[in-house]
């Protein structure tokens, strides 16, 4: 869940980042476009102002120049009129008009000078002034002659003045031409500036377009990768949901199963423990065996192991059995119960042969476990006790058959004998026919001789360090206490085993049978 | 080389040398679960006229396993001239008695308890 939470926070952060990116991108594009518009507008305004000024200047110059030319021409015409008239009054009038034209000229010239002139134009005007002075003098002479009616050299002077004036007019023309050229160059400059502005605008526009495209590209890419991630996350989420569902379902099933299993196991344990205890020989039975003093101990493990022991009184003594079914649990308990029945049934036969009994037990158990499909088998040892006066006069006799743990015999002088039973039998129920493997061995029991039977629950009882109790400890305890009663020996051994196990769980049934020849 | 294994045990069948090695602990439930191992062993009997079982490192074998081994030894005994060797360990509690019982089932079996 924590992972998914982080994923969502991360996703929100990505969305915020994207919005910021888009907004920033478009703000940037607008900014560029704004700058472009501003630059273009200010450029255009500047151009227009410049062009306006230039046009105004040009017009004013043209006007002044025209005025200059006109006043010169008018003056020439007036001089002609003065020469060609004899009327003194008319000459005065014309002379006055000539003066006013001179004033016009001076005014026009001043106007021209006040305009924004190029260096060439200024020089031109300075030059004109010298020439005009000459023309002025010539014209002045003509006018004076006319007034004084001398008429001397009038035509010559006019010719001279005309030449000078023609020069001035030509200069003025040149100036006008220069002005036209200037205007043209200004126009082309304005055009150039317009083109420049246009290219600037184009460039800024392109930049804005590229920026827009870049912003779009990044946003699309981000959205796409986010889409992939989202699909992935959704997939994972779905997967983990499915897994979770499966897990919950599985766990529920497991829990239900475990609960059912626990109940079943609990019930099974109760039943099998009951089976094991209910079928054990009673204290009363044990005390009634002639010739033998018997003490027995049996404690099933938490999960019972299928230990078996039996003491069946018969008229000559007793049939004793001890065994250990493989494995644990109800099935082991059932096999143990079957074994008890098979042995008890055969104990009622008149003729008792231990190997024969074991062969029957083997075949019966084998066939039954095959039916149960559980492959249980057991170590099983039978001992037939003949009390004194049956085989021997004063001694008892013990016939031993079947494969089990060794039999410990402590003679009444404390001497310890150990009888290995491996060659006396075979695991019961393991193979169908084990007839050849069952043999028997007989021992004579003097008064005070002790026989110890046990299951591997005793010798393999483990402590916290996994150290087994072992056959040596068992031997030691029984050897040290051989003079004591079977009951006392049994208690001492069990105490010693329990001390060894300590707080450890008891994994296997503990079975111990101590018999002493009276 | 054929291998059957899980986290608890490993069984290796070396066909060339006719050796089957067992390691770990075998607690399979019933003969049914031992069937693949039985198949191995049966195949070993058919492939060759001799076989060595190395059980030294098999720390535990449950009763079904012992039953399986016993039945295998009986079928090996029934094949004339078949040489079966078993290498075990005296250190492992279950082996002493059980492996001796195998030898009793098939007296020609060579048993080495190391």
| pLDDT, tens digit, 9 for 90 and up, residues A406-425 | 999 999 999 999 999 999 99
Measured between alpha carbons, how far is B81 from A219 in angstroms, rounded to an integer? 83
Query: What is the least distance, in Å, from the CA of A375 to any CA of chain B?
Result: 5
Neighbour-count burial for A349-368, b at 16+ CB within 10 Å, e otherwise: eeebbbbebbbbbbbbbbeb
In this complex, how many residue pairs, one in chain A and one in chain B, have their CB atoms less than 8 Å apart?
A: 42
What per-residue confidence (pLDDT) applies to A154?
63
- pLDDT tens digits for A492-507? 999 999 999 999 888 8
The DSSP bridge partners found for residue B88 are B113
Point out the residue among A326, A373, A377 whose CB comes nearest to the CB of B30: A373
The dihedrals phi and psi of A72, each to the nearest 5 degrees, come to: -65, -45
**Residues on chain A touching B76 (C-beta within 8 angstroms):** none
Interface contact flag, A326 B104, Cβ < 8 Å: no
**Residues on chain B touching A326 (C-beta within 8 angstroms):** 62-63, 66
Measured between alpha carbons, how far is B35 from B21 in angstroms, rounded to an integer? 17
What per-residue confidence (pLDDT) applies to A153?
58
Beta-carbon count within 10 A of A436 CB = 11
Nearest chain A Cα to B62, which residue?
A: A327
**Residues on chain B touching A469 (C-beta within 8 angstroms):** none
CA quadruple A466, A273, B64, A255: dihedral, nearest 10: -80
Nearest chain B Cα to A434, which residue?
A: B105
Nearest chain B Cα to A459, which residue?
A: B93
Query: In the structure, what pLDDT confidence band is assigned to residue A10 with cuts at 50, 70 and 90?
Result: low
A466 interfaces chain B, CB cutoff of 8 Å: no
Interface contact flag, B63 A377, Cβ < 8 Å: yes
Higher pLDDT, A13 or A213: A213
pLDDT at A152 exceeding the cut of 60: no
pLDDT at A248 exceeding the cut of 50: yes
**Residues on chain A touching B105 (C-beta within 8 angstroms):** 431
Cα Dmax for chain B: 37
Please measure the distance between the N-terminal and C-terminal CA atoms of chain A and give it in whole angstroms.
77
Query: In the structure, what pLDDT confidence band is assigned to residue A266 with cuts at 50, 70 and 90?
Result: confident
Q: Give the lowest-confidence range in A95-99, A344-348, A477-481.
A: A95-99
Q: Give the lowest-confidence range in A220-229, A435-444, A504-513.
A: A220-229
**Residues on chain B touching A374 (C-beta within 8 angstroms):** 30, 64
pLDDT at A361 exceeding the cut of 90: yes
The pTM (predicted TM-score) of the whole model is: 0.59
Query: In the structure, what pLDDT confidence band is assigned to residue A5 with cuts at 50, 70 and 90?
Result: very low
Query: What is the least distance, in Å, from the CA of B63 to any CA of chain A?
Result: 6
The dihedrals phi and psi of B21, each to the nearest 5 degrees, come to: -110, 140
pLDDT at A116 exceeding the cut of 80: no
Listed by number, the residues of chain A in 6-25 with a beta carbon closer than 8 Å to a beta carbon of chain B are none
Q: What is the mean pLDDT of residues A11-33?
A: 76
pLDDT at A3 exceeding the cut of 70: no
Query: What is the least distance, in Å, from the CA of B70 to any CA of chain A?
Result: 7
Query: What is the least distance, in Å, from the CA of B29 to any CA of chain A?
Result: 8
Interface contact flag, A430 B67, Cβ < 8 Å: yes
Measured between alpha carbons, how far is A91 from A100 in angstroms, rounded to an integer? 14
A377 interfaces chain B, CB cutoff of 8 Å: yes
DSSP state of A428: B
What per-residue confidence (pLDDT) applies to A502?
94
What per-residue confidence (pLDDT) applies to A1?
41
Listed by number, the residues of chain A in 386-445 with a beta carbon closer than 8 Å to a beta carbon of chain B are 403, 422-423, 426-427, 430-431, 437
pLDDT at A4 exceeding the cut of 60: no
Q: What is the mean pLDDT of residues A231-246?
A: 83
Interface contact flag, A326 B66, Cβ < 8 Å: yes
Helical ranges in A84-153 per DSSP H: 88-114, 119-148
Interface contact flag, A427 B31, Cβ < 8 Å: no
For chain A, the C-alpha Rg in angstroms (whole number) is: 71
Query: What is the least distance, in Å, from the CA of B16 to any CA of chain A?
Result: 31
Higher pLDDT, A235 or A483: A483
**Contact, A518 vs A447, CB < 8 A?**
yes
What per-residue confidence (pLDDT) applies to A22?
76
**Alpha-carbon distance values, B99 to A311, A429, B63, B103, B106 (Å):** 31, 17, 13, 6, 11
Nearest chain A Cα to B71, which residue?
A: A431
Tell me the domain boundaries of chain B.
Answer: 2-113
DSSP assignment string, A323-341: EEESS-SHHHHHHHHHHHH
Interface contact flag, A377 B30, Cβ < 8 Å: no
What per-residue confidence (pLDDT) applies to A224?
81
Cα Dmax for chain A: 213
Q: What is the mean pLDDT of residues A380-387?
A: 97
Q: What is the mean pLDDT of residues B64-71?
A: 88
Q: What is the mean pLDDT of residues A361-384?
A: 93
Q: Chain B interface, mutation test: which of A326, A370, A375, most B Cβ atoms within 10 Å?
A: A375
Interface contact flag, A426 B104, Cβ < 8 Å: yes
What per-residue confidence (pLDDT) applies to A150?
62
Q: For residue A438, what are the contacts with CB-CB under 8 A and spacing of at least 6?
A: A354, A355, A356, A358, A359, A362, A401, A402, A424, A425, A426
What per-residue confidence (pLDDT) applies to A281?
95
Query: What is the least distance, in Å, from the CA of B34 to any CA of chain A?
Result: 11
Look at the block and give the residue holding tokens 């010169």: A72
Nearest chain A Cα to B31, which residue?
A: A375
CA proximity to B22, closest of B46, B67, B49, B52? B52
Q: Chain A interface, mutation test: which of B97, B103, B106, most A Cβ atoms within 10 Å?
A: B97
What per-residue confidence (pLDDT) applies to A149?
65
CA proximity to A340, closest of A326, A317, A352, A357? A357
Please measure the distance between the N-terminal and C-terminal CA atoms of chain B and give it in whole angstroms.
25
DSSP assignment string, A36-63: HHHHHHHHHHHHHHHHHHHHHHHHHHHH
Which CATH number is B2-113's, of 3.40.47.10, 3.30.70.120, 3.40.50.300, 3.30.750.24?
3.30.750.24
**Alpha-carbon distance values, B63 to A429, A455, B82 (Å):** 11, 16, 25
Point out the residue among B63, B67, B97 whose CB comes nearest to the CB of A422: B97
Query: In the structure, what pLDDT confidence band is assigned to residue A2 with cuts at 50, 70 and 90?
Result: very low
pLDDT at A96 exceeding the cut of 70: yes
Average pLDDT, chain A: 85
**Contact, A382 vs A394, CB < 8 A?**
no
Query: What is the least distance, in Å, from the CA of A243 to any CA of chain B?
Result: 25
Interface of B with A (CB under 8 A): 30-32, 62-64, 66-68, 70-71, 74, 93, 97, 100-101, 104-105
Query: What is the least distance, in Å, from the CA of A471 to any CA of chain B?
Result: 12
pLDDT at A83 exceeding the cut of 70: yes
Point out the residue among B63, B101, B104 whose CB comes nearest to the CB of A375: B63
Name the most confidently modeled range: A12-16, A141-145, A389-393.
A389-393
Structure tokens at A72: 């010169």
In sign, the C-alpha dihedral spanning B64, B66, B70, B73 is: positive
A373 interfaces chain B, CB cutoff of 8 Å: yes
Q: What is the mean pLDDT of residues B69-81?
A: 91
Point out the residue among B30, B71, B97 whose CB comes nearest to the CB of A374: B30
Measured between alpha carbons, how far is A250 from A246 in angstroms, rounded to an integer? 6
């Amino acid at each position: 869940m924590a992972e998914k939470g982080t994923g969502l926070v991360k996703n929100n952060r990505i969305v915020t980042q994207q919005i910021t990116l888009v907004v920033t991108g478009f703000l940037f594009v607008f900014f560029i476009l704004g700058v472009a518009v501003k630059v273009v507008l200010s450029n255009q305004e500047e151009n227009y102002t410049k062009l306006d000024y230039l046009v105004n200047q040009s017009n004013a110059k043209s006007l002044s120049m025209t005025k200059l030319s006109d006043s010169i021409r008018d003056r020439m015409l007036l001089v002609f009129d003065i020469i060609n008239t004899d009327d003194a009054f008319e000459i005065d009038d014309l002379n006055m008009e000539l003066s006013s034209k001179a004033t016009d000229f001076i005014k026009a010239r001043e106007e021209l000078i006040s305009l924004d002139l190029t260096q060439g134009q200024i020089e031109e005007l300075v030059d004109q002034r010298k020439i005009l002075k000459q023309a002025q003098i010539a014209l002045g002479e003509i006018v004076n002659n006319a007034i004084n009616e001398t008429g001397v050299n009038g035509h010559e002077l006019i010719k001279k003045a005309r030449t000078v004036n023609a020069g001035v007019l030509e200069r003025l023309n040149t100036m006008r031409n220069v002005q036209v050229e200037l205007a043209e160059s200004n126009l082309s400059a304005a055009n150039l500036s317009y083109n420049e502005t246009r290219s600037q605008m184009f460039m800024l526009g392109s930049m804005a377009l590229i920026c827009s495209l870049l912003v779009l590209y990044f946003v699309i890419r981000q959205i796409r990768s986010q889409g992939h991630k989202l699909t992935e996350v959704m997939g994972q989420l779905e997967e983990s949901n499915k897994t979770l569902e499966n897990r919950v379902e599985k766990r529920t099933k497991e829990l239900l199963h475990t609960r059912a299993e626990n109940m079943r196991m609990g019930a099974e344990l109760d039943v099998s423990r009951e089976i094991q205890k209910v079928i054990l020989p009673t204290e009363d039975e044990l005390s009634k065996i002639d010739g033998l003093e018997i003490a027995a101990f049996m404690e099933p493990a938490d999960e019972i192991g299928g230990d078996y022991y039996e003491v069946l009184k018969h008229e000559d003594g007793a049939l004793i059995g001890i065994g250990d079914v493989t494995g644990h649990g109800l099935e082991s308990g059932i096999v143990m119960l079957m074994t008890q029945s098979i042995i008890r049934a055969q104990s009622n036969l008149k003729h008792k042969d231990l190997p024969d009994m074991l062969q029957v037990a083997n075949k019966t158990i084998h066939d039954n476990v095959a039916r149960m499909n559980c492959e249980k088998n057991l170590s099983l040892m039978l001992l037939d006790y003949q009390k004194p006066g049956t085989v021997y006069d004063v001694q008892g006799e013990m016939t031993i058959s079947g494969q089990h743990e060794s039999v410990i015999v402590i003679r009444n002088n404390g001497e310890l004998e150990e009888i290995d039973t491996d060659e006396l039998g075979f695991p019961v129920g393991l193979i169908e026919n084990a007839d050849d493997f069952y043999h028997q061995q007989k021992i004579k029991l003097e008064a005070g001789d002790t026989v110890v039977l046990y299951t591997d629950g005793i010798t393999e009882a483990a402590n916290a360090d996994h150290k087994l109790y072992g056959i040596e400890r068992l031997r030691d305890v029984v050897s040290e206490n051989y003079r004591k009663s079977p009951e006392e020996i049994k208690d001492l051994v069990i105490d010693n085993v329990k001390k060894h196990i300590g707080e450890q769980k008891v994994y296997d049934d503990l079975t111990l049978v101590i018999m002493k020849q009276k | 080389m054929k291998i059957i294994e899980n986290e608890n045990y490993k069984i290796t069948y070396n066909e060339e040398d006719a050796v089957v090695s067992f390691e770990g602990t075998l607690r399979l439930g019933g003969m049914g679960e031992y069937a693949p191992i039985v198949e191995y062993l049966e195949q070993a009997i058919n492939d060759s006229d001799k076989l060595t079982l190395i059980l030294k490192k098999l720390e535990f074998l449950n009763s079904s396993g012992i039953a399986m081994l016993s039945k295998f030894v009986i079928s090996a005994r029934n094949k004339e001239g078949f040489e079966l060797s078993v290498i075990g360990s005296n250190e492992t509690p279950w082996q002493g008695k059980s492996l001796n019982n195998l030898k009793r089932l098939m007296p020609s079996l060579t048993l080495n308890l190391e």
